[in-house]
Structure 1
């Protein structure tokens, strides 16, 4: 057996940026929102405006309206639902069988609820089925959906037992993310200010077989964000580490993935999809082409890329992470690594973008930054102005 390929982190990161449409945004006709989000492996969307910006910045000339049309138009290519880590994501409609098959196969962790408030396996299945039945051909608010679930299951589903942000939620809501993972629930356009839910547009297509979907999603992750270790995949997927170890071992034994060495990383072996071992020979040239980039909250690139210490070097590790967690601050990238944070404030069509670099910028970098701020304004359909200075708001502000 030949020795594993050795790759520098810079080469791996330069390839990652290219595959993320961060080095060169997709040209019109090259990739639409569905294809871009597929390359990202989902766009985290608790803050919908941030997800719209994540996608729009990866497409040459796109605006948030293009992303909204992909979500809510007559022929949607995106769906808003529960994705990796049980968090709200934009996912490609065409890939829902993959996602529902793979996400449903990830073992759950320990329940955070008291034993008396937990659902049995039987009652969990009753609620998931009731959610799917209630949303088939309907668009319901959370209260309307709750009424339908209780009517189809029993009063126990509506017991107010779950601690929530502003009170207590009914028991059935503890499995909403699971209903999303099973393809029974997704978001629909708001009704005024009220969020509504429906069945996904591909609800008639069954999930892929769990083993097939799991292997395919791991290979997709490694293509987008590799080289990566099983534990890095587990962190991205919110999966048990031992389970991820076993999945990677199975894929390695079948020849679907192969080991590589990342120069300077003494930890466990990293992996790529089998045969995917070509990396840029001069990554510093490719990274310099990427230059300056602004990424919003919860951008897929910063959440899924590892190791954290290389992507967030020096002061960036303390300034741009929240307790080691990525995504809570919008970040300034320079040549592929985090080099500052930023914040935007909107007033009508005016968007004020305050950028806090962690080191002085050259004149060329300042011009690049001004161009990026202008692009942020275009995506948000506003007029952007740049302020270079301290960002005084906290994480996820």
Structure 2
């Protein structure tokens, strides 16, 4: 636990104060609210591993929320949407925020081409595929990849279905390189799984105008994870750094963001949002699953993963590969859950002394019990080595 003041001698914001505000604003301090409200505060729940997304959301929602409540919000209430979000990865996003997200993500410049010559589609082909997806899914149907491939090729030509994309031990049809773009333009999202097959459906959304959407997304990002820098924002969004730097400069010129000193360096917060708690900061133990939003977005990363936690809890410098234990907003261990019937064993491997205190161990047991509640199982806690690798 750190004893640093909330503000540095230069009057800037410290890591402890920033971590406390971030944790409070996304429900990790006092869980509550609806799944959609929590996901909005997190700025999306990473859902490449769906069970991890369910944990991320339910642990912040409180009130006995389980994974079934998150699933209900997604598939019955439709207050959540599963689609491609920041960094082009699968996320849960609030349905009400989808115009904002699609408008902003469509406006982010793309980087270098991801496909080689001969595989890569031209801009005109991409537009044709997206028009075909819009038409095929416009009736509200949920189509499997094979069904959507047939619908697209019928509308564009056989070239869209050519199996030229390297994909694991298979090859995917050419059109699938446009799935992220289609999602960001608001014409495609994930539908319910049919058996073991993924389906796509139409989210039926009109994106907001790009400039206004990007401005609002940056404001929400800074409220959730500020203070931040253009480099950190670009990394979170997988956007070009030069574009992010121009965006911050424009927003600062317009008076929409404010520069502060953070950990003795320059960073930014949303205009009028400069208050940070100068008290003792967040105190408590939290268990975060794979690719949790806090572990991905909180910066500087060397303060989130201090000392030995850097080597133990990061996978080649990438956050999210291991579920992490937070103590006072800082990574103090890794953990793993293994289910057997109606029981789930939560194994926690401490990194450093932060979990040695009896009070921390009691709270850790409470957190493990809450994980079991979310998973609708009886939980048992084991403190010892986590022997599985990343993504296990």
Q: Give the TM-score, by structure 2 length.
A: 0.95
Return the match for 1:23 from 29, 33, 41: 29
* Residue 64 of structure 1, aligned match among 64, 67, 84: 67
Q: Which residue of 1 aligns with 2:164?
A: 161
Partner of 1:146: 149
Q: CA–CA distance in 2 between the matches of 1:98 and 1:113?
A: 28
2:97 corresponds to: 95
Greater than 3 Å deviation, 4+ residue runs:
none
Which residue, 80, 104, 107 being the options, matches 2:106? Answer: 104
Return the offset for 1:113.
1.7
Shift of 1:155: 0.5
- 2:358 alignment counterpart: 363
1:334 alignment partner in structure 2: 327
- Aligned equivalents of 1:363 and 1:302: distance in 2? 25
Q: Within 2, Cα distance between the matches of 1:65 and 1:127? A: 35
Q: Check whether the contact 1:5–1:277 (CA below 8 A) recurs between aligned residues.
A: no
Q: Which residue of 1 aligns with 2:237?
A: 237
1:199 aligns with 2:205: no
Candidates 385, 389, 394, aligned match of 2:389? 394
**Aligned counterpart in structure 2 of residue 10 of structure 1, from 12, 16, 25:** 16
2:276 aligns with: 279
2:232 aligned counterpart, secondary structure: helix
Whether 1:253 aligns to 2:256 is: no
Question: Following the alignment from structure 1 to structure 2, what is the Cα–Cα distance between the partners of residues 63 and 280?
Answer: 31
- Aligned pairs for 1:80-91 (under 5 A) are 80-91=82-93
Q: Quote the residue 1:215 is aligned against.
A: 215
SS at match of 2:287: strand
Deviations 1:324-353 (CA, angstroms, capped at 9, x unpaired): 110010001111100000011112221111
Which segment is superposed worse, 343-352 or 88-97?
Answer: 343-352
Aligned mates of 2:340, 2:179 — CA distance in 1: 35
Q: What RMSD in Å do the two structures reach over aligned CA positions?
A: 1.1
**How far apart, CA to CA, are the structure 2 residues paired with 1:95 and 1:359?**
40
CA distance in 2, matches of 1:5, 1:157: 57
Corresponding residue number in structure 2 for 1:183 = 186
TM-score with structure 1 setting the length: 0.94
1:359 Cα shift?
Answer: 2.8
Of the candidates 374, 380, 391, which is equivalent to residue 375 of structure 2? Answer: 380
Which ranges of structure 2 fall in alignment gaps of 5 or more residues? Answer: 1-9
1:36–1:58 contact (8 Å) kept in structure 2: yes
DSSP 3-state at the match of 1:394: coil
Deviation of 1:172 after TM superposition, in Å, equals 0.3
Q: Which residue is equivalent to 1:351?
A: 344
